[in-house]
Amino acid sequence: MIKLGEYNSLVVVRKSDLGYMLSDGNEEVLLHFSQSEKEHNINDKVNVFIYSDKKERPTATEIKPTATINDAGFARVCDIIPNVGVFVNINTPKDVLISKDNLPYNEELWPMVDDLLFIKLKIKKDTLIGKPLNRFDIIALHKNVNYEEQEKVNANVCKISDSGLSLITNDMMYVFVPETQLRGKYRLGEPVVVTITKALEEEYYGTLNEHKEILMDTDKELILEYMRNHNNSMKLTAKSSSEDVFKVLKMSRKAFKRAYGGLYKDHIIDFDDYKTFIVEK
């Protein structure tokens, strides 16, 4: 039986105008010329991946997919269908759907085109679909990769929760970033650079915040840029709520107060009961 979503060892039984017809002795599938890596002869054995084409027919390819039913891998988002899901490219002619059921309820947290999702394939109604892996699936891969503390690592967001972000690195390692170590909002599949802060037996902890001094300088400039674009003032002060600060500057109140205090100490800003303003020199 030819298995969809997996590699199959098949035999070339004949050649057609479109490609090679392959068989396992009972069923036949087409290996299109465009999906063949070399010329084949009758009775050649070939190892091919079976995907479902646009008419949901099992079809063969010798081009290696990025993910299969048995092997997880990264798939690039190529289309977004609101209220349905996203399509990802697994290196086959037909893209694979990841249903909204496997994506955040809030569509603002869905991936954008070109973001990467770490998935395995599943079969649903005789067609292939994608499903993102969770923390336990990723840890179970047992990749032998060691990161040092303070090492910066490229990764993509694989889960978003109230407690923080789950990341999958390019080396397929799991990293958790607590909510306190985030800046702003993130989306599923978004590429990030995480700094490793702690190594556990099977996973890592990390931060998306820079060093405090560097971060404060960045936050100072964000505050000043906002004020320059709003008549050199803003309706925020050191007493403003966390909600108001984040709404205006997409910044935590703690980071805001640190940068705000630095600007005030340097006599760059001043304030009254209602607003903050840049000091004229």
The segments of the chain whose pLDDT lies below 70 read 210-216, 281
pLDDT at 3: 95
Residues 245 and 268 in one domain: yes
Among candidate residues 173, 207, 241, the one where a domain is terminated: 207
Compute the distance between CA of residue 70 and CA of residue 51 in angstroms, rounded to an integer: 14
* Residue 30, domain member (yes or no): yes
CATH number, domain of 178, equals 2.40.50.140
* Residue 138, domain member (yes or no): no
Tally the residues of the chain: 281
Compute the distance between CA of residue 197 and CA of residue 176 in angstroms, rounded to an integer: 10
Compute the distance between CA of residue 151 and CA of residue 154 in angstroms, rounded to an integer: 10
pLDDT digits (tens, 9 = 90+) for 15-32: 999 999 999 999 999 999
CA angle 12, 13, 15 (to 5 degrees): 85
pTM of the model: 0.73
- What residues are paired with 10 via a beta bridge? 46
* Residue 118, domain member (yes or no): yes
* Residue 66, domain member (yes or no): no
Residues 49 and 98 in one domain: no
pLDDT digits (tens, 9 = 90+) for 160-210: 998 889 999 999 999 999 887 887 789 999 999 998 888 887 789 988 876
pLDDT at 212: 60
* Residue 137, domain member (yes or no): no
**Which residue type occupies 48?**
V
Among candidate residues 207, 238, 253, the one where a domain is terminated: 207
pLDDT at 106: 94
Q: How many CB atoms neighbour CB 204 within 10 A?
A: 24
For residue 124, give both structure tokens. Answer: 């649903």
Alpha-carbon radius of gyration of the chain: 26
Q: Helix, strand, or coil here: 91?
A: coil
Count the domains in the chain: 4
**Which residue type occupies 23?**
S
pLDDT at 268: 92
Compute the distance between CA of residue 78 and CA of residue 68 in angstroms, rounded to an integer: 18
pLDDT at 281: 64
pLDDT digits (tens, 9 = 90+) for 116-128: 999 999 999 889 9
What residues contact 121, with CB distance under 8 A and at least 6 apart? Answer: 5, 67, 68, 69, 90, 96, 128, 129, 130, 131
Q: Tell me which residue range forms the domain holding 190.
A: 143-207
* Residue 91, domain member (yes or no): yes
pLDDT at 87: 98
